[in-house]
Every structure is written in structure tokens, then in C-alpha cells.
Chains A and B, each alone.
Chain A
Amino acid sequence: EPEVTQTPSHQVTQMGQEVILRCVPISNHLYFYWYRQILGQKVEFLVSFYNNEISEKSEIFDDQFSVERPDGSNFTLKIRSTKLEDSAMYFCASRGQGQANTGELFFGEGSRLTVL
């Protein structure tokens, strides 16, 4: 069964460092998303991406965050200068073209980011 894969599974970084989280969405999917989940809290939407541009972003997704689809397979989330409060599990998700508003989102297993 096709799946969304994320790397790294866990990254520890120092405050102020840049971090790039990588995702390989399902191959024929066109809609991509990043979510985060702080430990013990709910899953929060960060950004959606379609046709090589951001479709929508939340207020969490400030200037420290950026997304990119550098090639035909990867979808990356960059945090320019990490803060302690960026420590969370980051989930990538993708969706096929199908019926745009009813299609299932497929989530990856997540990348745990720990900022020290």
C-alpha cells in the first residue's frame, strides 16, 4: 500500500539552528500539507501546498517557516531559526486529485523535533 514517508524520524537541534524536515508524498498525489502536534496537544494545521505554491497557511506558519517541493518527489518544511516552542511532532500529509474536497488525506508517521 502506498504511504507517505518522512525523514528524519527524530531530530534534536540547538535553539537558533535551521532544520529541514523531509517528506515523500504518495507518488500521484497533488495536494500536500504540514501539520504539527505539540506533546499532549491537538494536531494543528500549518500549511497546504498545491501547484507549486502555498494554498493556505495558519498563523503558526510565520516567516520562520517555509515549504518547498524541490523536485518531483520531495516536499520539505524548513524552520529557519528554531525556538524551544517549535519542539513537536511534525506530520506531512498528501491527497490525490480525485474529488478535491472529499478525498482522504494520507499522513506520514511524523518527524519528532526536539529543540534544546
Chain B
Amino acid sequence: DAKTTQPNSMESNEEEPVHLPCNHSTISGTDYIHWYRQLPSQGPEYVIHGLTSNVNNRMASLAIAEDRKSSTLILHRATLRDAAVYYCILRRNSGNTPLVFGKGTRLSVIA
């Protein structure tokens, strides 16, 4: 799987938007961009995914650069419950390819 680069940690104030960046300069044309998060003492949890167009769901928005070499996960209004490690993962469009997790970004939310 193509490699992604994320900041080790970020901090946000509660009720403010958070933009979590991810660089994936070696992305291939069939790689989907997935975001998962892991709350403390829990298993990973799906957040959102996309291919080329920006995506929105109830949890977050995903903004994908036009050249697809970077993307940004946007939490519109951070809550204390959003404190977690956020993983940006590229997953190749072939067969039963597993998700391969990196170190992710540890997001702290300050009340």
C-alpha cells in the first residue's frame, strides 16, 4: 500500500473545527483514501472514505486535493469525545486488500 504521512499529534479547542492533514504523494489511481479513528481503549472505527471528490457524512468531511496527493479530514465541531488517534489509510482497489494502519495523528481536544 502507498505510504501516508500525518502529523504525530494535534490539539483543538472544544467546539472548534479541526483539520487533520494527510499527505500521500505516491497514491495510485485506484487507491481509495480511508480515515479511521481509535478512541482510547477501543477498536478502530470507520470515519469516512473517498476516491476523488470531497465527501461528507454525519461524522466528518473529507477534502481531497485535485492531484490526490493530499487530503484533509475535517471535524466541523470538535467535542471531547473526538479525542482519538486518526488514521489516514490508502487501500488499493484489488481483491480483499486489508487496511494497513500507520501511526496516525493523536488529536487532543481541550475543554
A interface, CB within 8 angstroms of B: 4, 31, 33, 35, 42-45, 48, 50, 55-56, 91, 93, 100-102, 104-110
- Complex formed: what's the CA distance from A102 to B30 in Å? 11
Q: Do B43 and A109 touch (CB < 8 A)? A: yes
A42–B49 CA distance with the chains assembled, in angstroms = 20
Q: Whole-angstrom distance from the CB of A42 to the nearest CB of chain B?
A: 5
Q: Top 9 closest A-B pairs, CB basis?
A: A107-B43, A43-B101, A104-B46, A55-B96, A101-B93, A45-B98, A91-B43, A107-B44, A48-B98
Across the interface, do A45 and B100 meet the contact criterion of CB distance under 8 Å? yes
Can you give 12 contacting A-B residue pairs, CB < 8 Å? A35-B44, A42-B102, A42-B104, A55-B95, A56-B97, A93-B43, A93-B44, A100-B96, A101-B92, A101-B97, A102-B93, A105-B46
Query: In whole angstroms, what is the CA distance A108 to B32 when docked?
Result: 23
Separation of A33 and B98 alpha carbons in the complex (Å): 8
Check A56–B46 contact: CB distance below 8 A: no
Interface size classification for chain B:
20 to 34
Query: Chain A residue with minimal CB distance to B47?
Result: A104
Q: Which A residues lie within 8 Å of B87 (CB)?
A: 43
- Whether a CB of chain A sits under 8 angstroms from the CB of B45 is yes
Contact status A102-B49, CB under 8 Å? yes
The 8 Å CB contact of A108, one of B43, B99, B104, is: B43
- Docked pose: A108 CA to B41 CA in angstroms: 11
Do the beta carbons of A42 and B32 come within 8 Å of each other? no
- B93–chain A nearest beta-carbon distance, Å: 4
| Chain B, residue nearest A110 (CB) | B43
Q: A101-B91, A101-B93, A102-B32 are in contact. Are A43 and B44 (CB under 8 A)?
A: yes
What residues of A have a CB within 8 angstroms of the CB of B91 in the complex? Answer: 101-102
- Residue pair B103, A101 in contact (C-beta under 8 Å): no
Tell me which residues across on chain B come within 8 A of A56, comparing CB atoms.
96-98
